[in-house]
Amino acid sequence: MSSAERLKIFSGTAHRELAEEICRELGQPLGSASVGRFPDGEIDVKINDDIRGADVFIVQPTCPPVNENLVELLLMIDCCLRASSDRITAVIPYFGYARKDRKDEGRVPISAKLCANMISAAGADRVLTIDLHASQIQGFFDIPVDHLYSKPVLCDYFAQLELSRPVVVAPDVGSIRLARAYASSLQASLAIVDKRRHSADATSVENVIGDVAGRDVVMVDDMISTGGSITEAARNVKSKGAERVYLGATHAVLCGSAVEKLAQAPVEEVVVSNTIPVSGEKLIDKIKVRSVAGLLARAIDRIHRSASVSALFSGE
Ligand code: R5P
C-alpha cells in the first residue's frame, strides 16, 4: 500500500464541510462512513472502507450539540480500532467541555480531563486540535497532542484592514497571552479589559487598562459563546473613545442570543474561524469566517509523513 493509500480521512456529522475542505486541500477523497440512529436515539456508526493498516484521521469538533458529537467521535474511534487501523488521530478543531479544566470550587468535575480520558480510552493514538481554551489541557492527554493556533489565519484578515493607531485588546485576563501575540504580529499596542464573571452568562467590565482613545481596536478571544464577554468589553472600549472596533475569535460557539448581541454591538466586523460550522441564521453580514482547513491539511500531511508539525506552531 502506498503512503497516500494508507492515509484515510473520515468525518463525523459535526462538521462534514470542514472535512471535505481538508480533503480537497490534500487531494484526498473523504472516506465513507455512515452515522445513523437506532430507534431509541442511540448513535450507530459504520466505516464503509477497508482501513486495515491505515493511518486514520477522524475530523469531529466537539461543538454543540457537544454530547452527541463527543459520543459520535468516541464510537468512530472505537470502530476504527476494531477495524485494525494502524493509527488513529482524532482531529478535534474545537475541543468542548474545555472550560471546566480545574476544581475551582468543591464538588465539581474536571470535565476537560474526563473528556481527554474518554478519547484516549476509546483508542485514539494522537489528537490534533486548535486553540484549546487553556493550553495545559494538552497535558490531560497521555497521548501526543498537536496544538495549532488559528492566529495566522485571522491575523491576515486584520493586517489588510489598514487600521489606524491599532491597539489589540484582551477582553479578560485569560486572553492576555493571545492578545499579546496578535499585538506583536499587527505591530499594535496592547490593552486589557478587567472582566468579572458572575455566572455562566453574566459578566461585567470593571476597568480598561491601557490606551484605547482615538485608536482602532482589535479585540481577540479564544471563543465567543453567549457573546456576553466580548460585546460588553466592546461597548466599554467604545465608551472610552475607541474608533473602529473589530472582534476576532477562533471558535464561534454562538449559543443563545449571541448572534443578536453581536448584531447590536458597536463593532464593525466579527472575524471567526470555521473550527465550528457557522451557517444559516448565524452568518450575519458582520460575521466573516476564515477557514482553518489549509492549516489542518498541512498538519495532517506532516503527521502522516512523520514530519515536524512545530513549523506550523509559529502563530501562537
Ligand atoms: C473565557 O474564559 C473565555 O476566554 C471567553 O471569554 C468566554 O468563554 C466567552 O464566553 P461568552 O461569550 O459566553 O461570554
Are 76 and 8 a contacting pair, CB within 8 Å?
Answer: no
Residue 197's pLDDT band, with cuts at 50, 70 and 90, is confident
Enumerate the domain spans of the chain: 3-149+293-312, 151-290
**pLDDT tens, 233-243?**
999 999 999 99
| Gap between the Cα atoms of 160 and 164, Å rounded | 12
Are 214 and 238 a contacting pair, CB within 8 Å?
Answer: no
- The more confidently predicted of residues 279 and 218 is 218
Average pLDDT of the residues in 280-307: 97
Q: Which atom of ligand 1 is nearest to the CA of 228?
A: 14
* Shortest-distance Cα residue to atom 5 of ligand 1: 223
Question: CATH assignment of 3-149+293-312, given 3.40.50.20, 3.90.1570.10, 3.40.30.10, 3.40.50.2020?
Answer: 3.40.50.2020
The angle subtended at Cα 179 by Cα 175 and Cα 181, nearest 5°, is: 125
Are 293 and 274 a contacting pair, CB within 8 Å?
Answer: yes
In the reported structure, the alpha carbon of residue 132 is separated from the centroid of ligand 1 by a whole-number distance in angstroms of 13
Tell me if residue 270 falls in helix, strand or coil: strand
Question: Is the CB–ligand 1 distance for residue 227 below 6 Å?
Answer: yes
The angle subtended at Cα 277 by Cα 11 and Cα 176, nearest 5°, is: 115
| Gap between the Cα atoms of 120 and 202, Å rounded | 34
First-to-last CA distance in the chain? Answer: 37
In the reported structure, the alpha carbon of residue 133 is separated from the centroid of ligand 1 by a whole-number distance in angstroms of 9
* Shortest-distance Cα residue to atom 2 of ligand 1: 174
Give the pLDDT confidence score for residue 157 in this predicted structure.
97
Question: Domain 151-290 classified CATH 3.50.50.60?
Answer: no
pLDDT at 3 exceeding the cut of 90: no
Alpha helices (H) along 40-94: 66-82
* Shortest-distance Cα residue to atom 10 of ligand 1: 225
Residue 202's pLDDT band, with cuts at 50, 70 and 90, is confident
Q: Which atom of ligand 1 is nearest to the CA of 203?
A: 14
> What is the pTM assigned to this prediction?
0.95
Give the pLDDT confidence score for residue 316 in this predicted structure.
47
* 3-149+293-312 against 151-290: fold identical: yes
Give the pLDDT confidence score for residue 311 in this predicted structure.
79
| Gap between the Cα atoms of 258 and 264, Å rounded | 10
pLDDT at 139 exceeding the cut of 50: yes
**pLDDT tens, 75-85?**
999 999 999 99
φ, ψ of residue 145 to 5 degrees: the values are -120, 125
What residues are labeled active site?
195
Residue 244's pLDDT band, with cuts at 50, 70 and 90, is very high
Give residues with Cβ within 8 angstroms of 219, minimum separation 6. Answer: 168, 169, 170, 171, 230, 233, 234, 237, 245, 246, 247, 248
pLDDT at 205 exceeding the cut of 80: no
Q: What percent of the chain has pLDDT over 90?
A: 91
Strand 189-199 with 126-130, pairing: unpaired
pLDDT at 150 exceeding the cut of 60: yes
Are 268 and 247 a contacting pair, CB within 8 Å?
Answer: no
